[in-house]
Amino acid sequence: MEALKQKILDEGRVLPGNVLKVDSFLNQQIDVKLMEAIGKEFALRFADDSIDKVLSIESSGIAPALMVAKELGVPMVFARKRKSLTISENVYSVDLFSYTTQKHTQVIVDQRFLTAGERILIIDDFLANGQAAEGLLKIISRAQAIPVGLGVLIEKSFQSGRQLLEKANVRTESLVRISSLVDGHVIFSDDGK
Ligand code: G4P
Ligand code: NA
Ligand code: NA
């Protein structure tokens, strides 16, 4: 997606540790027009997939997921993060481990908001190591819902998330694929659209 690529080139900053900072339009301030265009793009890509619900994870997945859900005319649900491992009832809960932050987080969705047989589209901001996506897939599986696909705005192709999702046989659509952030330069994969 050209508009997102251009925004990354204009406003993205590469931080140490292969992190792309995009807080001026995605992770803190949000470019609403861009999010709207992103919503339309994913809605087109998944137009023939009879999506019943969009599932995301707080906090940075919520903005794009909301726009996709609006375009598809379906509800959006986001998984919440809990710091402590307290037991809650009537929730689907998984433990996420972030390689980036080396921290465990418990992620939960109330059982009322996912129903067996529902066709679910997962939307998130980044695909890095795929831990968030894998956790959401587990939750979908517990609910006996159907994971139709994953849409991410920015895929870091040099990390392992894509392989993980291919192994899990989940259709993954990235709006932008980055093959390298070495030396502060953003290099896009040729096949990134
Ligand atoms: P994974 O889900 O793909 O395995 O990602 P990982 O655990 O490695 O990433 C942890 C957090 O860092 C996630 O957000 C993820 O979206 C974000 N992240 C990964 N790589 C980048 C990057 O290059 N730039 C930015 N800006 N974020 C990145 P989170 O902790 O769940 O936070 P949030 O959704 O509340 O923002
Ligand atoms: Na995220
Ligand atoms: Na983030």
Is the pLDDT score of 193 beyond 50? no
100 belongs to a structural domain: no
CB atoms within 10 A of CB 71: 19
- How far apart are the CA of 64 and the centre of ligand 2, in A? 11
CA distance 26 to 35: 8
**What residue's CA is closest to ligand 1, atom 34?**
60
104 belongs to a structural domain: no
pLDDT (tens digit, 9 = 90+) per residue, 107-138? Answer: 999 999 999 999 999 999 999 999 999 999 99
pLDDT (tens digit, 9 = 90+) per residue, 68-104? Answer: 999 999 999 999 998 666 667 899 999 999 887 899 9
| Amino acid in the structure at residue 64 | P
Residue 150 confidence (pLDDT): 98
The CATH number of the domain where 23 resides is what? Answer: 3.40.50.2020
State which of 23, 96, 98, 187 you would mutate to test the pocket of ligand 1, scoring each by most atoms of that ligand within 8 A of its C-beta: 98
Residue 96 confidence (pLDDT): 94
What ipTM describes this predicted complex?
Answer: 0.93
Structure tokens that stand for 1 in this block: 């997606």
Q: Locate tokens 């710091």: which residue?
A: 83
Task: Please tell me the number of the ligand nearest to residue 124's CA.
Answer: 2
94 belongs to a structural domain: no
127 lines ligand 1 (CB under 6 A): yes
Structure tokens that stand for 55 in this block: 């599932």
CA distance 168 to 110: 24
What H or E segment, with its residue span, contains residue 39?
A: helix 32-45
11 belongs to a structural domain: yes
Task: Please tell me the number of the ligand nearest to residue 136's CA.
Answer: 1
- How far apart are the CA of 107 and the centre of ligand 2, in A? 12
95 belongs to a structural domain: no
Tally of domains within the chain: 1
Q: Which residues surround ligand 3, an ion (CB under 5 A)?
A: 60
Q: Which domain holds residue 164?
A: 2-81+109-188
pLDDT (tens digit, 9 = 90+) per residue, 152-191? Answer: 999 999 999 999 999 999 999 999 999 999 999 999 997 5
pLDDT (tens digit, 9 = 90+) per residue, 21-39? Answer: 999 999 999 999 999 999 9
113 belongs to a structural domain: yes
60 belongs to a structural domain: yes
61 belongs to a structural domain: yes
pTM of the model: 0.95
CA distance 128 to 51: 24
Summarize the confidence of residues 136-159 as an average pLDDT.
Answer: 98
